[in-house]
Chain A
């Protein structure tokens, strides 16, 4: 079973920051938080991952709470192309561990 809880859907206005929350209260010390998104039947796209420090790349920022029980993915300036299902997944790094997808958050960017 998935170890994360996400809201089923969210809307965000185009050009605004999209903040997607994820709860992972049972996360283990060696588990990372990964974010992927899937744009309508395309292959899931890797966005970002982190262990306990906040991370930023060209796509997004990941904010992980100090107790690591929750995190937020931030898309700083959402565009229509960011409309997708976003999956938050906890996973041990270095071990070929599979990804266990939950139901994700369906993010809709509103023009």
Chain B
């Protein structure tokens, strides 16, 4: 079965640079979530989108923005990168409308993007 795809898998940036992380949800999934996991920490919710509209927001820095596009993929844009932004970034997708072959409203995670800020 198709899974959530994230790209790139690894990214190295310098301080104050920008980064864009991409997430391609499971086909027919309408909701995307972004989570951040710092070293030795548990995943923390950043932001979510349902049908291309922001649906919830967590502790996401103002330097970060995200959107969901018409094909339901999502991008997390990170600017003025800081050392503390080094983390694993996970995207998850879910199907709220019940059109996919997965459990309705259950979140399925991608493999993550490891961002290293030097």
Contact = CB atoms under 8 A, between A and B. Distances in A.
Interface of A: 34, 36, 38, 41-46, 49, 87, 93-104
B55 interface: yes
A41 B107 contact: no
A44 B109 contact: yes
B96 A99 contact: no
Contacts of A96: 31, 48, 50, 55-56, 94, 96, 105
B112 A42 contact: yes
Contacts, number: 61
Looking at chain A's contact residues, the main secondary structure is loop
B8 interface: no
A42 to B, nearest CB: 6
B1 to A, nearest CB: 12
Nearest to A99: B107
Interface of B: 4, 31, 33, 35, 42-45, 48, 50, 55-56, 58, 88, 90, 92, 94, 96, 103-112, 114
Contact of A102 (B42, B103, B109): B42
A5 to B, nearest CB: 14
A96 B107 CA distance: 9
Given A41-B88, A43-B112, A97 B56 contact: yes
A46 B88 contact: no
Given A41-B88, A94-B96, A96-B94, A101 B109 contact: no
A94 B94 CA distance: 10
B4 A43 contact: yes
A99 B105 contact: no
B112 A98 contact: no
Contacts of A104: 42
For the complex of A and B, 4 pairs with smallest distance between CB atoms = A43-B109, A98-B45, A101-B42, A44-B109
A12 B65 CA distance: 43
